């Protein structure tokens, strides 16, 4: 068998990807289970469209597409933060591994 604990210590990023994919598979199965009654009992799916797209009717059509511009802005902020941590702050990728044990614990501070 596969020793997941050893793999998690040796390949932490790969295991994060594996966990993400497993959560995606579970969420997909859950979504199919939630939609099954609509297909079994032949319920009109327009009810779901009316419920979940209601806020889109509040903002008129040409202006609700402005939200698409926020996606590249968010990506640029992530790239800028990564650059700031790596090059200006001298904090490498290994130093900010989320699954590793911290080297020291801060007990006093502003919080």
| Angle, CA of 61, 67 and 84, to the nearest 5° | 170
Token couple for 61: 């059509």
Determine the pLDDT at residue 79: 92
Report whether pLDDT(105) > 60.
yes
| pLDDT tens profile 36-92 | 998 999 988 888 888 887 766 677 778 778 888 888 999 999 999 888 888 887 777
Determine the pLDDT at residue 94: 67
pTM above 0.75, yes or no: no
Contact 7, 14 (CB under 8 A): yes
d(CA 18, CA 87): 29
Measured distance CA(22)–CA(37) in Å, rounded: 24
Q: Looking at the predicted structure, is the pLDDT value of residue 99 above 80?
A: no
């Amino acid at each position: 068998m596969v020793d997941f604990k050893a793999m998690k210590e040796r390949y932490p990023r790969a295991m994060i990807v594996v966990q993400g994919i497993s959560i995606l598979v579970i969420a997909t199965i859950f979504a199919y289970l939630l939609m099954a009654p609509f297909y079994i009992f032949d319920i009109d799916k327009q009810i779901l469209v009316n419920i979940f797209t209601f806020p889109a009717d509040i903002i008129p059509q040409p202006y609700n597409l402005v939200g698409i511009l926020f996606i590249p802005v968010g990506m640029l902020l992530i790239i800028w933060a990564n650059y700031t941590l790596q090059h200006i702050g001298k904090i490498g990728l290994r130093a900010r591994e989320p699954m590793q044990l911290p080297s020291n614990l801060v007990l006093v501070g502003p919080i």
